[in-house]
Structure 1
C-alpha cells in the first residue's frame, strides 16, 4: 500500500529513538537498584507519566475502543471504575508505599517488601508472591505481545507469526539494555505520544462524519441503544466493569513507580499530573470507539477489517483519515502503549527472578554486576515464554488483560493496601491474603458459571482472610515500631 513507506519510516525512527534511550540509561545503570528501581530517583513528572503509560497498555487503543465500538457507551463503566481506582491508589498507597519500602530493608520488589515488612524468615511469603508475579505477569506480557502483533499485522500486512516477533523485539531490546531508567524515560515519551493520538483522532473522526450533531444522529440511526449506558447491563455487569478499579492496588508495575519516586513530596504533584493525563486518555479512547460507529456505518466499504476484528477500530481510522506520515505517528502510539506496559512487566518479572530467587536463595553474595546481567537474561527468558503464550492468533487483548489484572488485584491489592494502613497486620495474614486472592480468581474464572468479574470476589475474600488470620495472631513489637516510624515519616514529609 502507498502508506507503507511513510509508516515504516515513522515506526523505524520511533523504535530507534526508544532503543537510543535504552543505551543512554545503560550508562546510568551501575547496580541492581538502578536496574530495578532507577536508584529511587524519579521526579514527579516522570513518576506520573511512567505510572500512567505502564498502566495503559495496548487495550487502551485496541481493546477498549473495540468494546465501545461493539456495545456503545455501556462499556464506558470500565473507564469510570479505572479512574476512581487509580485516584484512590495515588491517594492511599503511593506515598505510604514509597516510605514503607524504604523503612523495610530498602525493598526493591514487592516480594522483598512483604518479606521485610512482615519479618518472614522462612522465605515462604517471598516465594509465593514472586510465583504469583511470574504466573500472572507472563499472561499480561502475552497480552502486550498480542497487541503489538495485531498492530504490525494490520499495518504492514505481515503474517501473525512474523508480527509477533517484530512487535516484541524493540521492547525487549531497550528493557534488556537500560532497565528501569530506560523503561521510565521511554514511558514518559510514550505517554505524550498516546495522549496526542487520543485527542487528535476523535476530532478528525468528527470532522469526517460531519460534526457532533451529524455523528450522534448516525450513531443513533445505527442503534439508539448505543447511547444507553445501561444497555443490556445488569447490576452484576456494571459492578464487574467498575470492579476493574480495584486492580490498581495490586499491580506491581504501577506500584514500582511509587517505590521509585525521589521523595514523598513528589507524589502529590505526580498524582495531579497522572490523573489529568489518564482522564483525557480514557475520554479520547471512548470517543474513538464511539465516533467510529458513525464513520464505519457511513463507509461500509472500508469497514471489513473492523467487522472482522473490532479491536482494529483505532488502527483503521488512523490509516484512513490521516496523511501517511501522521498516521505513522498515531499508529506508533499503539506501539508506545504496548511497549510501555510490556517493558515494565518484563522488568518486574526479571526483578522477581533476580532479587527474590537468584540473589536470595542461590547466590546471596553475587556481585552487583552479576545481578544486573542475570536480570537482563531473565528479561529474555520471560519474553520468550510470553511470545509462546501469545502464539494463538485468536487471542483477544482485553480478555488476557482482564485475567492478569484480576489476578494481581485480588492477590496483592488487599495485602498492599492493608500493609500501609494497618500496623496490626501479620505475616500469616499477608500469606493468607495472597493465596486466597489468587486461588479465588483462578477458581471463579473457570468454575463459577457467573458473569461477575473474578476480581470482586477475589478482593473481598482476600481482605477477609487477611483480617481474620491477622486477628488470630499478633504483629511483633519491632514490626509495629517500624510501621509507626514509617507512618510518622510519611505524614511529616507528604
Structure 2
C-alpha cells in the first residue's frame, strides 16, 4: 500500500507548528536579567503562570501511553482494570497536597535536590540511575506506540516514523528547554483535544459500530475476587508512582509560588481524568464494532494487537481525513510526553551530577551546554531502545516499578524524615531493589527468585509485592538511620570520654568538645 501523502503532509505541518512555537517561545520568554541561565533552562525562571502550568501539566500527563494505553486496557481488560486514569488522578492530587507546595517553597531545581542535600552524592547517583531508566524506557515505549500508529494510518516505515518524531522533539527541547516545552505543551494539548474530540462522533455513529451499552459487560469488565490483592497493588503503585518523576516536579517548580504549584497539580489531575473519556469510549467501541467488515477482518484483540486498538478504530471507523487529524492528536501526545522525559533526565544530570559532583566550579554557560548535550544523548538512547529492543514495554513496567519502590521512599524520607541519613538511604535502596527484582517480570520472561505468599506458576505473583517492597524500603531507611544515629552518637560520646581521660581534662578535651559541637554538619551524621 502506498504512503498516505495527505496524512504525511498533515503530520509534517503539525510537527512544523510545534517546532516554530517552541523556538518563538524560547526567544520571547527568555530573560536577560534577574535569573540564572540554568534556572531558566530547568524551571523557566520560575515564571510560568498558573494557566500555562495547568496546560503543561495536563499535556505531560495525557501522553501517548495514556491515550493509547487507556483504549487498549478498556478493550482487552475492561474498565475495572483500567487503573491509570484514576490512579494518576489521585496521584496528582496527592502530590499537590503533600509534595508540591513544600518543594516549590524550598526553590529546588530538580526532584533530586532534597535527596542530595540529605543523603549526599552516592545516593543521588543511585537514584538518578533508576530515574534515567524510567525516563528512557518510558520514552521508548511511547515512540514505539507512535511509530505503529503512523504505520497504520500513514503507512510509513516504523523506523522512519520513530526517528522523525524523535528528531523534532529533541530539536525544540534543545533549543528552548523548559520554556519551549511548556508552551509547545499548550499547542500539543489543543491538538489532542481537537483530534480526539473530532474523531469521537464519527466513531460512535459509524454503521459498523453498535451501541456500547450492548457490550457493557465486556468493556466495563468483571472484578475477580481472587485478584483483589494484585488489583490493590497495581492501584497503589499507580497512585504513588505518579509522583516521583522529574517531569512532574519540573512543572511544580516552574510556577511562581507554592500555592500555584498545588493548584496546577490538582487542576491537572481533573483535566487528565476528563481527557481519558475519549480513549475509554474508543476502547468500548472496539468491543462492540463489527470488525469483519474492515481491512483487518477481526478485532485487534483477537489478533493479539490490542496495543493498536486506538489507531485501528480511527483508521477503520472514521473518514480518512478524520483519522489523519486523530493521528495528529496521538503524535502531539507522544511529543508532549517525550520532551518532558528527556528534559527531566538531562536537568537532573546537569544540576545534580555534573554541577554538584563532576564539575563543582562549572559556569552557567558550561552547564547549559552540558544540559543541551544531555537532552540529545537521552533522546538518542530512547530512540535506539525503541528501534532495537523488542521488549520495550516490559522494560518500562520494570523501570516504573523501580521508581515507585525505590525513588518514592528516598524522596519522602529526604523531604519529611529529618533523621534519615545516608546509611539508611543506601540500605533502603538495596533492599527495595532486591525485593522488586526478586518478584520477576512476566513481560520480560524474567523468572522470580523470590516467591511471595500465594505465588503460583500459572498466575504468578498474587501478593502485593510492589507495595510491600516500597514499604519495606521506606521502613529500612528509617530504622537503619535511627540505628546508625545511635551508633554514631555512642562512638562520639566514647571518643570524647577517652580523650578526656588521656588529656586529664585539659586542652585535648576542649578540642574534642569543639569537634563534637560541629559534628552535626558532617553529611553522615546530619539529622
Structure 1 equivalent of residue 436 of structure 2: 441
Answer yes or no: is the 8 Å Cα contact 1:249–1:416 preserved in 2.
no
Q: Which has the higher helix share?
A: 1
Matches within 5 A, 1:410-449: 410-445=405-440, 446=446, 447=448, 448=450, 449=460
Structure 1 equivalent of residue 480 of structure 2: 469
Q: CA, structure 1 residues 350+396, in 2 after alignment: closer, same or farther (shift >3 Å)?
A: closer
Answer yes or no: is the 8 Å Cα contact 1:198–1:281 preserved in 2.
no
CA–CA distance in structure 2, aligned partners of residues 242 and 291 of structure 1: 25
Structure 2 equivalent of residue 327 of structure 1: 323
Structure 2 equivalent of residue 145 of structure 1: 143
Matches within 5 A, 1:255-404: 255-297=249-291, 299=293, 301-303=295-297, 306=300, 307=303, 309-392=305-388, 394-395=390-391, 397=393, 399-404=394-399
Larger radius of gyration: 2
CA–CA distance in structure 2, aligned partners of residues 378 and 450 of structure 1: 38
CA–CA distance in structure 2, aligned partners of residues 255 and 193 of structure 1: 24
* RMSD of equivalent CA atoms: 3.1
Q: CA, structure 1 residues 90+29, in 2 after alignment: closer, same or farther (shift >3 Å)?
A: same
Deviation at 1:177, TM superposition (A): 1.2
1:447-471 Cα offsets, whole Å, 9 max, x none, are 2451557632332222212221233
Answer yes or no: is the 8 Å Cα contact 1:152–1:167 preserved in 2.
no
CA–CA distance in structure 2, aligned partners of residues 149 and 226 of structure 1: 26
**Unaligned ranges ≥5, structure 2:** 32-36, 441-445, 451-459, 487-518
Deviation at 1:225, TM superposition (A): 4.5
Q: Which region of structure 1 is more displaced relative to structure 2, 385-394 or 256-265?
A: 385-394
Give the structure-1-normalised TM-score.
0.85
Number of equivalenced pairs: 467
Establish whether residue 227 from structure 1 lines up as the match of residue 220 from structure 2: yes
1:81-131 Cα offsets, whole Å, 9 max, x none, are 33222221222111112113x2xxxx3222233112x163xx212222222
Larger relative CO (CA 8 A, sep 6+): 1 or 2?
1
Answer yes or no: is the 8 Å Cα contact 2:114–2:414 preserved in 1.
no
Establish whether residue 459 from structure 1 lines up as the match of residue 454 from structure 2: no
Q: CA, structure 1 residues 77+109, in 2 after alignment: closer, same or farther (shift >3 Å)?
A: closer
Of 73, 80, 92, the match for 2:79: 73
Deviation at 1:263, TM superposition (A): 0.5
SS in 1 for 2:242: helix
Q: CA, structure 1 residues 367+477, in 2 after alignment: closer, same or farther (shift >3 Å)?
A: closer
Structure 2 equivalent of residue 237 of structure 1: 230
Answer yes or no: is the 8 Å Cα contact 2:427–2:476 preserved in 1.
yes
Q: CA, structure 1 residues 335+250, in 2 after alignment: closer, same or farther (shift >3 Å)?
A: same
1:244-296 Cα offsets, whole Å, 9 max, x none, are 11202212211221122210121343234212211112233222111221124
Q: CA, structure 1 residues 225+310, in 2 after alignment: closer, same or farther (shift >3 Å)?
A: closer
